[in-house]
Amino acid sequence: MSMILLIEQLLNGIQSGLMLFLMAAGLTLVFGVMGLINLAHGSLYMVGAFACAGVAAATGSFWLGLAASIAAAAAAGAIVEVAVIRRLYARDHLDQVLATFALILIFSEGTRWLYGSFPLYLNVPPSLSGSVTLPGGIQYSLFRLAIIGAGLLVAVGLFLLIGKTRIGVQVRAGEADREMIAALGVDIGRLYTLVFALGAALAGMAGALVGTIQSVQVGMGEPVLILAFVVIVIGGIGSIKGALIGALLVGLTDTMGRVLLPSIFDLFMETSAATSVGAALASMAIYILMALVLIVKPGGLFGARA
């Protein structure tokens, strides 16, 4: 296990963690402020990726595509919030789960109808293609570095938004006491739509960025959605800080686990057994991590409410 490979995987872990953070931040905000569990978040990720692919193909510009992904996801989020989601705030969790599960079916099948089942591919923009030499002589993909940068920027932006702006104050107050902010004259309907659209925009952006590294296809949002849930359970529902730390933990555990566990087992098992045991355990590693966190802290690491 070379040092270079290790550092590369470490960076990959951070990169995937930051993209997960984009997903988790939206989810945790929506739950923290509106008390709503939203399974359709993965669909918004998918919408962003498809919008980026579509616009990039039509215009030849990745950057236009990226802008389109954020706009399209935000718009889709706003529409869904007004049409469906706002009827669910007063309902119990089961209803929210089922209704948003229905939305997944609608979005997925609708997208399949429009685009078919085959994956689309996005090209990395020329300005960000190729690799860069990092201190220590390591070659790393420039695009992935850009993603890390984007993720960090978003994190800083969110912290500033929530911590320093008026909207942020309304969001934090809404998390603490929903009825109170309505009584104080805050337009709840608009605030909720805004929060939902913001979460959607983040998801769409993540979809476009990850879609460029991997591929764009129907259902791409679902594994990410579940990971995002694991992240906010670990981090604590309603906490952006928890979402960041949780996402980094999950991203690193997943990436490093896949790399390290087979090697660890190789030390005292024969290679083929080591690979299968290692791979199987690696795939479960995140969930084991989640279970451990919940045993020790049932509300998550930074959870305010259970």
Partner 1 sequence: MSAAEITAAPTGRGGRMARAQIVNAALALGLIGFGLGAWAMGETFLVTLATKVAILAIAGAGLNLVLGFGGLVSFGHAAYFGLGGYTAGILAHHALNYTPMFEWPVLFEGTTSMPVIWLVAMAVGALAAAVIGALSLRTTGVYFIMITLAFGQMIFYFAISWPAYGGEDGLPIYVRNGFPGLNTLDPIQFFGLVVALLLAVLGLIAMLARSRFGLALQAARQNRQRLMAVGIRPNGVLLAAFVISGAITALAGALYADLNRFVSPSMLSWHLSGELLVFLILGGSGRLFAPLAGAGLYIALEHLLGGVSDHWQFFFGLLLLGVVLFARGGVIGFLAGGRKHG
Give me the residues that bind partner 1 (CB under 8 A), please. Answer: 31, 37, 84, 87, 93-95, 97-99, 101-106, 108-110, 112-113, 222, 226, 229-230, 232-233, 237, 276, 279-280, 282-284, 287-288, 290-291, 294-295, 298-300, 306
CB-CB contact of 176 with 170 (8 Å): no
**Minimum distance, C-beta of residue 110 to partner 1, in the bound complex (Å):** 6
Nearer to partner 1, 93 or 190 (CB): 93
Nearer to partner 1, 124 or 279 (CB): 279
Nearer to partner 1, 111 or 141 (CB): 111
Nearer to partner 1, 212 or 217 (CB): 217
Nearer to partner 1, 1 or 280 (CB): 280
184 exposure class (CB count in 10 Å sphere: 0-12, 13-18, 19+): exposed
**Minimum distance, C-beta of residue 246 to partner 1, in the bound complex (Å):** 12
**Minimum distance, C-beta of residue 23 to partner 1, in the bound complex (Å):** 14
**Minimum distance, C-beta of residue 260 to partner 1, in the bound complex (Å):** 15
Nearer to partner 1, 132 or 305 (CB): 305
* Complete DSSP assignment for 173-205: HHHH-HHHHHHTT--HHHHHHHHHHHHHHHHHH
CB-CB contact of 47 with 218 (8 Å): no
Nearer to partner 1, 144 or 258 (CB): 258
Q: How far is CA 305 from the centre of its chain?
A: 21
**Minimum distance, C-beta of residue 299 to partner 1, in the bound complex (Å):** 8
118 exposure class (CB count in 10 Å sphere: 0-12, 13-18, 19+): exposed
Cβ burial 9-42 (10 Å sphere, 16+ → b, else e): bebbbbbbbbbbbbbbbbbbbbbbbbbbbbbbbb
CB-CB contact of 37 with 232 (8 Å): no
**Minimum distance, C-beta of residue 36 to partner 1, in the bound complex (Å):** 9
**Minimum distance, C-beta of residue 75 to partner 1, in the bound complex (Å):** 20
**Minimum distance, C-beta of residue 91 to partner 1, in the bound complex (Å):** 8
Structure tokens that stand for 82 in this block: 């007004």
Alpha-helical regions (H) of the chain: 3-34, 41-59, 62-83, 93-115, 142-164, 166-176, 178-183, 188-213, 221-235, 240-266, 271-296
CB-CB contact of 162 with 171 (8 Å): yes
Nearer to partner 1, 148 or 175 (CB): 175
Indicate if the alpha-carbon torsion angle 286, 12, 56, 115 is positive or negative. Answer: negative
